[in-house]
Structure 1
């Protein structure tokens, strides 16, 4: 039975993926490398007030939409947030963000691109000389922020959730180096960054990267943003689904491992 290591910082998503894999005869091992929680101290009321007359809003992930809406709702400011956003041009990095903007706010993203680089390229004229607000995900993307600041007249940003390290990278490295893992899965760029950062501190990053490069252990990434983060550490994911969603990721892993299974894969829904 092939073994797949899941590194997601969200237990409920890891559980969904684990169930898909188990039904297909694959053994999931859950070893998170990040822990995600609310960002204490994020002043949502102040942020909404500051951006009430801004021109452009950028959502960096689906979670950055959901968390901002949740925090605004807790503060009794959901309608104020929706009204402010309805007057702006909304840009989304990724289809998950665009989907949450539609389902949670009833609004539409004017531009949807899967990577930060593509978003900046397509929206360059939209940002030029404008007042721009950004909802970041677990860590502050300084490079993206600097690029927006070069183009915009003013930039405000908020982080509505934070990430902390979960020290499981060494355990995952042990499985990879011992040949006891067939696939390691990253469901976010944060997880990939955390994993290789921890391994670098332990002096194991290159050894593990070589196992991925050789194909002895496969690397799976949920989408292009996560895949690009992996490439920064010198590894190219072997498995990237056609759409950056958990169900597609599970099916892609199952298809990849199907020749090694003793029974036919069960198609996931």
Structure 2
């Protein structure tokens, strides 16, 4: 049955989207989203969902409100489930009430899913509790931009100025002089603490504290622009004491993650948790084999092998997909010893109920060879399920030591055909601080799309997971600015964070 869901996307942090909203997004036939709704939410939508952007930015309306209403009604009447994704809460200065009225008038079923309003969340991320026993026991949410067709303002400035409430103005940056003048004219002291919070809860979050009288001048001097909230009241004085989000060392710094989308989530999460604005630009993608028959045949002969060496979590995933397809499970490895090239690979095995018999101290092929030779792999039959294209060090060295090695491609990697214009524009605008590389292949494919000169001109830092990747970077004229101490994704994230802290003088901002 068709229905329109008016979803509150929250203030921007994807972690503040409700479980209910995420569930509806994952099932909707159509997603209609606003400027203030973080595009990351679209990752929750079905791959085949119809996506419509209807955002409004600084008076530039992609679609006027009446056309948005018509779109929602038309989609609902065509029998589709519609997720109308709105920034913040649909009913808090979001015009959700107007859209609901139109749906009722057209006879279209609808449901409202409230969201976390920026009026609460953005000040909280800035270290400002909007109520506090020592300062106030009430709060007022006020539009800083009333309907221009109204004959006169409905705002009672005298009541606001004398209420003792925390005042939170939406969309008030353009009208700051008007707002501050009216409040002071109505009796509010000019030295009342005030704050602006821009892009609250997102990686672009920043705040500014001044007084009611000085805020218009300070806002202009610091270049504050929409979307910003204006907060007025004694609670603002707690900002320096309670600030927490703005202490994240990567806040506001753009980081390009070149890892495949299948693998990027862990690195993105680690960096985003420290405030980074992550730009996913996968240089490679994982692709299934055109012919899986050789993998199935190898599984049928698995009992012939003494060792199976997994060189990546992807290898584990793809090999077990074939095992599952044959109706088998971990018991197929009975009597076989297992090696993993690194902790992520070992964790992928553990998720399948298997413990690696060997995990090297250094997570590169050379260390695997050294360790296995010490365990007496010479003369053993070894199977290596891996990507079709990979470094040959491991099988070659094992074969030289007397092992009987079978290299089994279980997946392909291929370059991602993606337009680099957005990433290049961000670099040229100074929005990118780091580009991260997890292996040599992404380096090669990244520079096949983006000239090394672009990075050099923008003074972008490069970060890589280890010396082999660093050597590949050197072929393009770069000495990496950041190299992970251990060859793991967490270590790479830690190295980037440490570099950001050092660049800030050894302290978080």
**TM-score, scaled relative to structure 2:** 0.43
Change (3 A) 1:247 1:52: same
Question: Following the alignment from structure 1 to structure 2, what is the Cα–Cα distance between the partners of residues 26 and 257?
Answer: 10
Q: What are the superposed Cα offsets for residues 126-171 of structure 1, whole Å, 9 maximum, x if unpaired? A: 3322211111136233343333332335222222221111145865
User: Which one scores higher on RCO, CA 8 angstroms, separation ≥ 6?
Assistant: 1
Q: What are the superposed Cα offsets for residues 45-80 of structure 1, whole Å, 9 maximum, x if unpaired? A: 211223312222211112212221232112212245
Deviates more, 1:18-27 or 1:60-69: 18-27
SS where residue 52 of structure 1 aligns? helix
Change (3 A) 1:56 1:183: same
After superposition, the CA RMSD in angstroms is 3.4
Q: After TM superposition, list the pairs within 5 Å mapping 1:26-45 onto structure 2.
A: 26-43=276-293, 44-45=295-296
**TM-score, scaled relative to structure 1:** 0.75
Q: What are the superposed Cα offsets for residues 190-225 of structure 1, whole Å, 9 maximum, x if unpaired? A: 3223224x26xx8x45x468x39xx9321122x33x
User: By how many angstroms is 1:111 displaced?
Assistant: 4.1
Q: After TM superposition, list the pairs within 5 Å mapping 1:171-210 onto structure 2.
A: 171=421, 180-196=431-447, 198=448, 204-205=451-452, 207=453
What does residue 481 of structure 2 align with? 238
What does residue 348 of structure 2 align with? 100
Question: Following the alignment from structure 2 to structure 1, what is the Cα–Cα distance between the partners of residues 359 and 268?
Answer: 33
Is 1:135 the counterpart of 2:378? The answer is no
What does residue 416 of structure 2 align with? 166
Say if 1:2 and 1:257, in contact at 8 Å, map to a contact too.
Answer: no
Say if 1:42 and 1:159, in contact at 8 Å, map to a contact too.
Answer: no
The number of equivalent residue pairs is 249
Q: After TM superposition, list the pairs within 5 Å mapping 1:48-197 onto structure 2.
A: 48-83=299-334, 87-112=335-360, 113-124=362-373, 126-137=376-387, 139-168=389-418, 171=421, 180-196=431-447
Change (3 A) 1:82 1:233: same
Say if 2:285 and 2:415, in contact at 8 Å, map to a contact too.
Answer: yes
Is 1:218 the counterpart of 2:461? The answer is yes
Say if 1:24 and 1:264, in contact at 8 Å, map to a contact too.
Answer: no
For structure 1, the 5+ residue unaligned runs are none
Say if 2:424 and 2:454, in contact at 8 Å, map to a contact too.
Answer: yes
SS where residue 407 of structure 2 aligns? strand
SS where residue 41 of structure 1 aligns? coil
Change (3 A) 1:109 1:62: farther
Deviates more, 1:145-154 or 1:70-79: 145-154
Question: Following the alignment from structure 2 to structure 1, what is the Cα–Cα distance between the partners of residues 342 and 265?
Answer: 23
Say if 2:340 and 2:356, in contact at 8 Å, map to a contact too.
Answer: no
